[in-house]
Amino acid sequence: MKSIRIALAQVNCTVGALAQNRSKILSQAVAAEKGGSDLVLFPELALCGYPPEDLVLKPHFIDAIEKELAILCEELPPELVCVVGMPRAGKARPQNAAAVIHQGKVIASYTKQQLPNYGVFDEQRIFEAGNRPLCLQMGEARLGLHICEDSWIHSEENLRHLADMELTALLNLSASPFHREKCSVRQAVLQKTSNTVKAPLVYCNLVGGQDELVFDGGSLVISPRGEILCQGARFKDDLVYVDLPCAPAKQGTEFANIVKLPPRERATKAPKLPPSTKHRSMDELEEVYEALTLGLRDYANKNGFQDILVAISGGIDSALVAAIAVDAVGADRVSGISLPTQYSSAGTRSDALQLAGNLGIKMPMVPIQHLFDAYTDLLEPQWPGRGPDVTEENLQARIRGTIVMALSNKFGSLVVATGNKSEMATGYATLYGDMCGGYALIKDVPKTMVFDLCRWSNIRQGSERIPQTLIDRPPSAELRADQKDSDSLPPYEILDGILSLYIEQDKGRDEIVAEGFDPHMVTRIIRLVDGNEYKRRQAPPGVKITPKAFGRDRRVPITNHFRPTPPSNPIPHD
């Protein structure tokens, strides 16, 4: 056996869809067999989907997976070695495992040793860790096994043991979620691991959307020198092949924890290796746009929504959401609705109509001024002598929220909320109003990036699909006369800089001020962020695209009296 052909099956699995996932695994295994593979590698927990969260704590869930595994073993090509990620029963808790399947049975199982417990991960809560490496011997090929974090957290003892095995390759089953700049970080870590074990690292990553998380694929084979030998597509299913040379171990060398398999005997010569696809690199905006598109598509499709509904105001946030929705599921499955009041300008009404026409979606315009007037007539006797304030502003948003949710009930549409991260961070959003919806697509996208994504979308489209007048207009909620976002918030270029330091980098007030920001403004923004946690807890899920998103990625108490050190001068009340 002079070389071994390995296929990396980058698949989009759905949590809990066991039979469907099994069917995908079988289909890719059959394709890998036809492609002449000796072994096919699948992502982490591919059989049950990732992350399964507390499902794995249910014994009947583990039992159901074992039944699907038994069926899969019978169906797979018998001579092909298949390495499939799945949870298996352990001593105290389930294990995050890789099942090695050959000739109709599981011949070995590897348990993940490094369980991540940071950010979006809490695997130590639900899994028990393994403590033994595993090596597969196929003729002269020696293949080590890792599951995701095993190659990220470097246990010197484990890696030294693998290096001593003189591996042909280290196989890694992964479910590594996307965020900005993740691809370059991931490649650097994998290259370091490959260099340490002195063998190519064959890395198979999950693809697809799962609630807030998007897995971007990009499976790859990387050499100890950092050379990418082949790479899978980003944000879609792929099957990638690599031929790796084998060399006999040094004479007299003995290894522990090795499972030996007979070298594959072929009746015919293996097919010629398909040419390695050179996938072009993506810049940051394209990556984010593709992640948002895939996240929305999978959330809608995997949860059974046939249609998407977006309240289109004529502003930039709803424009971006509507454009992504069309790219995700097609214009025939997207509807808009415009709900203007007397404060909605002629410009935003015109841009909303133009946007809908450009996207090819239906968008009735339903004025709600009479409803707003009816509410205020009803409520004004309850607060005699009190003039208009934010109450009336929020009332308009809540009328809109009631209407879009009624349409969702009537037609079964997925309402996609349009608030961005800058608004969600500072509470510049209305509970039960513009926060209504089943999915908050851009809740982790800063406002400055919203503008950039709209411009990028137009460039890719080669036309002003999103009207330029809409992009150029100063942002406004249009809930009172002549309102601008800048009346309540600092310029977004400044605000987003402060928010990034405070939320994503966990910098304190003084550290942020040291970056050159106004002390009074920093303190005010921090207070807004901390004081609006109660709103964010009630927001719909949305795609994570930054290193630290609100929700499962950043968890702080609602009742929280910790405050930044006040500046020497008192801050005027807002």
CB 466 within 8 A of CB 355: yes
Q: Which phi and psi angles does 47 have, rounded to 5°?
A: -70, -30
Q: Where are the beta strands (DSSP E) in 212-306?
A: 213-216, 220-222, 228-231, 238-245, 258-261
CB 199 within 8 A of CB 161: no
- The set of residues, in sequence order, having a beta carbon less than 8 Å from that of 74 and lying 6+ positions away, is 104
Catalytic one among 48, 82, 148, 454?
A: 148
Q: Any catalytic annotation for residue 112?
A: yes
CB 353 within 8 A of CB 380: no
For residue 25, give the nearest of 48, 46, 50, 6 by alpha carbon.
46
For residue 250, give the nearest of 140, 137, 139 by alpha carbon.
140
199's tokens: 């063998």
Specify whether the backbone of 30 is left (phi greater than 0), alpha (psi in -120 to 50) or beta.
Answer: alpha
CB 216 within 8 A of CB 207: yes
**Cα–Cα distance, 433 to 337 (Å, whole number):** 15
519's tokens: 């002390």
CB 258 within 8 A of CB 249: no
**Cα–Cα distance, 48 to 86 (Å, whole number):** 6
**Cα–Cα distance, 269 to 149 (Å, whole number):** 37
- The set of residues, in sequence order, having a beta carbon less than 8 Å from that of 184 and lying 6+ positions away, is none
- DSSP 8-class letter at 252: T
What one-letter code names the amino acid at 242? V
C-alpha distances in Å from residue 212, one per residue of 163, 229, 265, 452: 37, 31, 45, 22
For residue 435, give the nearest of 536, 357, 350, 346 by alpha carbon.
536
C-alpha dihedral (467, 469, 474, 478), degrees to nearest 10 = -70
Task: Name the helix (H) or strand (E) containing 311.
Answer: strand 308-311
For residue 112, give the nearest of 98, 91, 92 by alpha carbon.
98
**Cα–Cα distance, 418 to 443 (Å, whole number):** 8
Q: Any catalytic annotation for residue 24?
A: no
Catalytic one among 33, 44, 287, 504?
A: 44
Q: What's the length of the chain?
A: 574
**Bridge-based pairing state of the strands 334-337 and 39-41:** unpaired
Catalytic one among 13, 33, 68, 112?
A: 112
C-alpha dihedral (461, 462, 466, 472), degrees to nearest 10 = 140
For residue 500, give the nearest of 459, 446, 557 by alpha carbon.
446
For residue 189, give the nearest of 157, 224, 152 by alpha carbon.
152
CB 297 within 8 A of CB 328: yes
Q: Any catalytic annotation for residue 68?
A: no
Catalogue the active-site residues. 44, 112, 148
